């Protein structure tokens, strides 16, 4: 029996991938590293530092850890400039209605995001009010595909993984959910991933699964 739903944030409840793209692109252009949508897709659900390492793998140069810290900070500042302009209108009515309906059914809801910027995003979009627990990049030591972020979310909700659904848009997130023993629902890019247990096209389809 399903008692909880753990939502990935970016790519599932709202879309900040365009902001990640623009911020990484600014940095990559400065370093003269090729960067396009295809590379950007590889960064979905992946932590900031792991994302930077993927981008730098397209360069012939090597960089020290200290240089990488500066680059990651620079990218994050650009990204946060975009985030600060977000408003509640950046979340669709369909998404809000699904969250309210799940809560009305007695289902407990959590966030399971790799992003350290989750608190800012939830605040700007007025989304915190729907969730009983938040597990994000600030409370984990290992990023997706490690299941830590979802296991922590289930622990905060006080449920076993098998009692929870994980909703994800990234392959790394689906791998993390499967590895942790959750029922994985894939949307967006993850709808077509062969390891996704239950693919959906729209978030509203989630209501039929519970
Ligand atoms: P930050 P999610 C992930 O969010 C993004 O998909 C990924 O592109 C990003 O690198 C990661 O958060 C870390 O974000 O730099 O804000 O800590 O999909 O797990 O909600
Ligand atoms: Mg995501």
Q: pLDDT of the chain along its 210 residues, tens only?
A: 999 999 999 999 999 999 999 999 999 999 999 999 999 988 998 999 999 999 999 999 999 999 999 999 999 999 999 999 999 999 999 999 999 999 999 999 999 999 999 999 999 999 999 999 999 999 999 999 999 999 999 999 999 999 999 999 999 999 999 999 999 999 999 999 999 999 999 999 999 999
Q: How many domains does the chain divide into? A: 2
Counting beta carbons within 10 angstroms of the beta carbon of residue 180, is it exposed (0 to 12), middle (13 to 18) or buried (19 or more)?
A: buried
Report CA(19)–ligand 2 centroid distance (Å): 13
Range of the domain at 35: 17-83
Residues 44 and 119 in one domain: no
Give the whole-angstrom CA distance, residue 39 versus residue 24: 10
Residues 200/169, Cβ–Cβ less than 8 Å: no
- The residue among 63, 83, 103 that closes a domain is 83
Locate 175 and state its tokens: 């791998």
- The residue among 83, 106, 124 that closes a domain is 83
The protein residues having their C-beta less than 5 angstroms from ligand 2 (an ion) are 8, 10-11, 45, 169-170
Please give all residues whose beta carbon lies within 6 A of any atom in ligand 1, as ranges: 8-11, 20, 43-48, 51, 76, 113-117, 137, 170
Cα–Cα distance list, 194 to 68, 142, 176, 186 (Å):
34, 24, 14, 10
Residues 145/170, Cβ–Cβ less than 8 Å: no
Residues 101 and 186 in one domain: yes
Residues 10 and 104 in one domain: yes
Give the whole-angstrom CA distance, residue 113 versus residue 95: 17
DSSP assignment, residue 114? S
Residues 120 and 134 in one domain: yes
CA 72 to ligand 1: nearest atom: 15
- The residue among 83, 115, 135 that closes a domain is 83
Residues 193 and 134 in one domain: yes
Measured in degrees and rounded to the nearest 5, phi and psi for residue 3 equal -110, -20
Residues 56 and 94 in one domain: no
Residues 149 and 161 in one domain: yes
Residues 121 and 78 in one domain: no
10 is catalytic: yes
Locate 17 and state its tokens: 């991938």
Give the whole-angstrom CA distance, residue 9 versus residue 118: 8
> In this predicted structure, what is the pLDDT of residue 174?
98
Residues 33/138, Cβ–Cβ less than 8 Å: no
Residues 198 and 140 in one domain: yes
Helix (H, G, I), strand (E, B) or coil at 181: coil
Residues 115 and 177 in one domain: yes
């Amino acid at each position: 029996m399903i008692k909880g739903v753990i939502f990935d944030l970016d790519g599932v409840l709202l879309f900040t991938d365009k902001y990640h793209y623009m911020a990484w692109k600014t940095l990559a252009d400065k370093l003269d590293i090729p960067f396009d949508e295809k590379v950007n897709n590889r960064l979905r659900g992946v932590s900031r530092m792991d994302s930077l390492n993927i981008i730098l793998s397209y360069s012939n140069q090597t960089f020290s850890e200290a240089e990488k810290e500066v680059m990651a900070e620079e990218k994050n500042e650009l990204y946060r400039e975009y985030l600060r302009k977000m408003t509640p209108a950046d979340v669709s009515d369909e998404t809000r209605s699904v969250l309210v309906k799940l809560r009305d059914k007695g289902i407990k809801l959590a966030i399971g995001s790799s992003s350290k910027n989750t608190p800012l995003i939830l605040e700007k979009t007025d989304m915190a009010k729907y969730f009983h627990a938040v597990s994000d990049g600030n409370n984990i030591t290992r990023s997706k595909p490690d299941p830590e972020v979802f296991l922590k979310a289930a622990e905060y909700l006080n449920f076993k993984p098998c009692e929870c659904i994980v909703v994800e848009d990234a392959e790394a997130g689906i791998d993390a959910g499967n590895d942790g023993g959750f029922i994985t629902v894939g949307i967006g890019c993850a709808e077509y991933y062969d390891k996704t247990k239950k693919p959906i096209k729209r978030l509203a389809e989630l209501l039929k699964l519970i």
